[in-house]
Amino acid sequence: MRLVRYLVHDDVRYGVLEGDRVQELLRPYFEGLTPMKTVRPLAEVKLLAPARPSKMLCIGLNYRDHAREMQTSLPEEPVLFLKPATALAGPEQPIVYPTMAARLDHEAELAVVIGRRCRSVPLDEAGRCILGYACFNDVTARDLQAKDGQWTRAKGFDTFGVLGPWIETDPGDPNRLAVTCRLNGQVRQQSNTDQCAFNCQYLVSWASRLMTLEPGDVIATGTPAGIGPMQPGDTVEVEVEGIGILRNPIVAEPDKGAKPATIL
Ligand code: MG
């Protein structure tokens, strides 16, 4: 099942996407799936990021091929960093290339979306805390990542946490999905979540041992090899098997500086 958030006349709605039609839900999907009679063509709604996370937990160096690319070994425990809620962006929304950065990279990832409030979840119960899965682009200012020694700035700009185009509740085995990144139609990253050192259920269980996970929170599970730069005017696509394609244009930050983020 594909769960969507979308705009109708500036109002945020939740729905279920079936084919090219969106059936509206009475309440956010975290509160149960109660369908309403209203059905709209997908082409007539504007899709938003399918969740509004209180935090985005991102995993560094989870893929064997990416660890080789970065000339480092896989960590014994997951490497965790956070993106602020203001970094959220949705499908088709422009990713803003900051004037402060000299290199802007794509990182195609599978995102786990939390469905219920949880803490200290045993591994064998982690699946019950997961609402579904989405594509994620962990946009990174690579030069600032190296310069700063920690990643808050490099990973935290507005529009650097791209989530969508929807939440797929059953993409198949989440630990065996092809992950692809294309830039202007050219394949840049191609791997499979079976290359991850830490799988989805493990990451939920592990992360819940350090902080409370809220409905809509996101765990981005890391990126495979093939990270590379993007430029204003490019179009980047993250595709995850069984989910769909998350597509965004890159634009330059305006000379006067960016406006405040509108997180709907
Ligand atoms: Mg990443």
Same-domain pairing of 15 and 134: no
User: What residues pair up with 130 in beta bridges, in sequence order?
Assistant: 114
pTM of this prediction exceeds 0.85? yes
Identify the CATH number of the domain in which residue 146 sits.
Answer: 3.90.850.10
CA of 155 to the centre of ligand 1 (A): 9
CA of 98 to the centre of ligand 1 (A): 18
Same-domain pairing of 158 and 188: yes
Same-domain pairing of 41 and 69: no
Q: Computed from CA positions of residues 193, 198, 202, 207, in that sequence, does the dihedral angle turn out positive or negative?
A: negative
Neighbours of ion ligand 1 (CB under 5 A): 107, 138, 223
Same-domain pairing of 93 and 122: yes
- Of the candidates 79, 74, 64, 55, the residue with the CA atom closest to the CA atom of residue 163: 55
Same-domain pairing of 197 and 131: yes
Identify the CATH number of the domain in which residue 44 sits.
Answer: 2.30.30.370
CA of 32 to the centre of ligand 1 (A): 31
Q: What are phi and psi of 94, to 5 degrees?
A: -65, 135
**Inter-residue contact 209 to 144 (CB < 8 Å):** no
Q: What is the domain extent for residue 35? A: 2-48
Give a yes or no: residue 263 inside a domain.
no
- Of the candidates 64, 47, 13, 42, the residue with the CA atom closest to the CA atom of residue 192: 64
Give a yes or no: residue 257 inside a domain.
no
Q: Which of 71-80, 206-215, 235-244, 248-257 has the lowest mean pLDDT?
A: 71-80
Same-domain pairing of 73 and 31: no
Distances in Å between the alpha carbon of 185 and those of 57, 74, 180, 182, 244?
A: 28, 30, 11, 5, 15
CA of 58 to the centre of ligand 1 (A): 6
Averaged pLDDT, 52-69: 93
Q: Is the pLDDT of residue 68 over 90?
A: no
Split at pLDDT 50, 70, 90, the class of 69 is: confident
CA of 9 to the centre of ligand 1 (A): 34
Give a yes or no: residue 261 inside a domain.
no
Residue 224, H or E segment: none
> What is the Cα–Cα distance from 196 to 135, expressed in whole angstroms?
16
- Give the strand order in the sheet containing 186-192: 95-97, 244-252, 235-240, 178-183, 186-192
CA of 84 to the centre of ligand 1 (A): 14
Same-domain pairing of 119 and 44: no
Split at pLDDT 50, 70, 90, the class of 67 is: confident
Give a yes or no: residue 84 inside a domain.
yes
Q: How many structural domains does the chain have?
A: 2
> What is the Cα–Cα distance from 236 to 199, expressed in whole angstroms?
25
Same-domain pairing of 119 and 246: yes
CA of 109 to the centre of ligand 1 (A): 7
**Inter-residue contact 5 to 24 (CB < 8 Å):** no
Same-domain pairing of 65 and 115: yes
Averaged pLDDT, 120-148: 97
Give a yes or no: residue 264 inside a domain.
no
CA of 123 to the centre of ligand 1 (A): 23
Give a yes or no: residue 260 inside a domain.
no
Split at pLDDT 50, 70, 90, the class of 258 is: very high
Say which residue the tokens 């059953």 belong to: 170
> What is the Cα–Cα distance from 106 to 125, expressed in whole angstroms?
32
Same-domain pairing of 183 and 129: yes
Same-domain pairing of 154 and 66: yes
CA of 62 to the centre of ligand 1 (A): 9
Same-domain pairing of 22 and 106: no
